[in-house]
Amino acid sequence: MPALTVYEEILTLARQTGDLYRRGITFNVMGNVCKRQKEYTRALTLYEQALAVAEQFGDSHGQFIILCEKGKVYQAQKEYARAMALYEQALAVAEQAGDLHDQNVVWGEISYSYFLQWAFWKGLKCFWEGVKVSKKLADSKINQPENPRTRRKKSR
């Protein structure tokens, strides 16, 4: 059974039960399948539907993922300006949420997009922005107080 057929059945069940959140996830996964199969127009439509659900739930991480996936669709079609606009939107969402991991990921996407366009200096500059965010992320993890529930017991 093809993957999209299974996901269409899941989507039908989610509609019947009124599970909007599951519908959003399913739209996103179906978009990923279509992107992989190079059905870019359908992928973009599915991502738009997923994005609408993520926005309705206030799911900033979901919005971030979907914006990046849409950017990858445009990048695969060599529509770099459209891809970059989506990556910049994703960066804004990650910055607004204070999510250093997502910021790091999107700097990598932006950097890679520049490399694909043979704009190596711009790509390198964005790569270093990602390195700066990685350092902040590492520093924030080092400086966090130890969680007593996850602390390992010392062996005697």
- Written as six digits, the tokens of 39 are 């059905």
Residue type at 90 in one-letter notation: A
Residue ranges per structural domain of the chain: 1-58, 78-137
pTM: 0.84
Residue linked to tokens 């206030």: 58
C-alpha pair distances (Å), 10 with each of 42, 92, 136: 18, 32, 40
Examine the pLDDT at 59 and tell me if it is beyond 70.
Answer: yes
Q: From CA 132, how far away is CA 56, in angstroms rounded?
A: 32
C-alpha pair distances (Å), 129 with each of 25, 100, 123: 30, 12, 10
Amino acid 142: pLDDT: 72
C-alpha pair distances (Å), 2 with each of 8, 28, 42, 147: 10, 17, 16, 45
Amino acid 146: pLDDT: 57
Which tens digits make up the pLDDT trace of 28-54? 999 999 999 999 999 999 999 999 999
Spell out the long-range contacts of 12-21 with Cβ–Cβ below 8 A and sequence spacing 24 or more.
20/53, 20/56, 20/57, 21/53, 21/57
Which tens digits make up the pLDDT trace of 88-141? 999 999 999 999 999 999 999 999 999 999 999 999 999 999 999 999 988 887
Amino acid 118: pLDDT: 95
Amino acid 152: pLDDT: 47
